Amino acid sequence: MQLITCPWCGPREETEFRYGGQADLAYPADPSALDDEQWARFLFFRDNPKGTFAERWCHDAGCRRWLRAVRDTRTYVFAETGPYGSFPRRSARPERSA
């Protein structure tokens, strides 16, 4: 049972989170401009590296915010987690006690 550090709620057990697959895969600006193979690549193909992997998680049982994580697929260890998308980047957030 890993701890995942939600940028908002702090470290929580992984059961509170939902895995969202590879990060940084933008929805194509104009899907109709893609041929069938290009569209199939967007739909079905994902990286599967041995090592560092950027992925998305959602803190489902907590603040329901999506986060972007960098994880090592060999050790599962999270190198970092950070906000995703619309998450306001605020400097006013105080440090959490451990």
Partner 1 sequence: MSRVDGYGRIDRTRTLAFTFDGVGYTAHPGDTLASALLAHGVTTLGTSIRLGRPRGVMGAWTEDPGGLVQIEEPFPEPMLLATTVDVVDGLVARGVAGQGRLAEVADTARYDHRHVHCDVLVVGAGPAGLVAARTAARAGLDVVLVDDRPTPGGTLTGTETVDGRPAPEWVDAVVAELAAAPHVTHLQATTAFGHYDDGFVLALERRGEGSDGGARARDHRIRAGRVVVAAGAIERPIVFEDDDRPGVMLASAARDLLHRHGVLAGREVVVFTVDDSAYAAALDLRQAGASVRVLDGRSEVPPGWTRRCAELDVPVEAGTDVRGTLGSDRVRAALVGESRREVPCDLLLVSGGWNPTAHLFSHVGGPLRWDPELVAFRPAGELPRTTVVGAANGTYALADVLREAGGEDAPTAPPEEITPRGMLWRTAGDPARQFVDIARDATVADIARAVGAGMTSVEHVKRYTTIGTAHDQGKTSGVLASGVTAELLGRPVESLGTTTFRPPFTPVPFAALAGRDRGDLFDPVRTTAVHAWHVAAGAVFEDVGQWKRARHYPAPGEDMAAAVLRECAAVRGSVGIMDGSTLGKIDVRGPDAGVLLDHLYTNLMSTLKVGRVRYGVMCGNDGMVFDDGTVLRLAEDRFLVTTTTGNAAHVLDWMEEWLQTEWPHLRVRLTSVTEQWSIFAVAGPRSRDVVGRVFGDVDVSNDAFGFMTWQDTTLDGVPVRLARISFSGELAFEVSVDAWHAPDLWARLVAAGAEDGITPYGTETMHVLRAEKGYPIIGQDTDGTVTPHDLGMSWAVSKKKPDFVGKRSFARPVATDPQRKQLVSLLPTDATTTLPEGSQIVALPDDGRLPPPPVPMLGHVTSSYRSAALGRPFALALVAGGRDRVGEVVGIPVGDMLIAAQIGGTVLVDPEGARRDG
Partner 2 sequence: MTAELSSGVELRSASSPVVLTRRHPLEGRRATLEALTGEPSITLEPLVSAVDLRVDPDGGAPEAIAAALGGTLPRSPDTWTELPDGVALRLGPDEWLLTSAAADPHRWEDRVDALAAPHGGMAVDVSAQRVGLRLHGPAARDLLAFGCSIDLRPTAFGRGRCAQTLFGQAAVLLVAHAEDDLRLHVRTSFAGYVVDRLVDTARSLRPTPA
What is the C-alpha separation between 65 and 44, in angstroms, rounded?
25
What is the C-alpha separation between 84 and 65, in angstroms, rounded?
8
CB of 32 to partner 1, least distance (A): 6
Among 9, 4, 2, residue whose Cα is nearest residue 87: 9
Residue selected from 64, 74, 79, 80 as contacting partner 2 according to rule CB under 8 A? 64
Q: Does 2 interact with partner 2 (rule: CB under 8 A)?
A: no
Give the tokens for residue 66. 């999506």
Give the binding site for partner 1 (CB under 8 A): 1-3, 11, 18, 20, 26-27, 30-32, 34, 36, 39-40, 42-43, 56, 58, 60, 64-66, 75-76, 84-87, 98
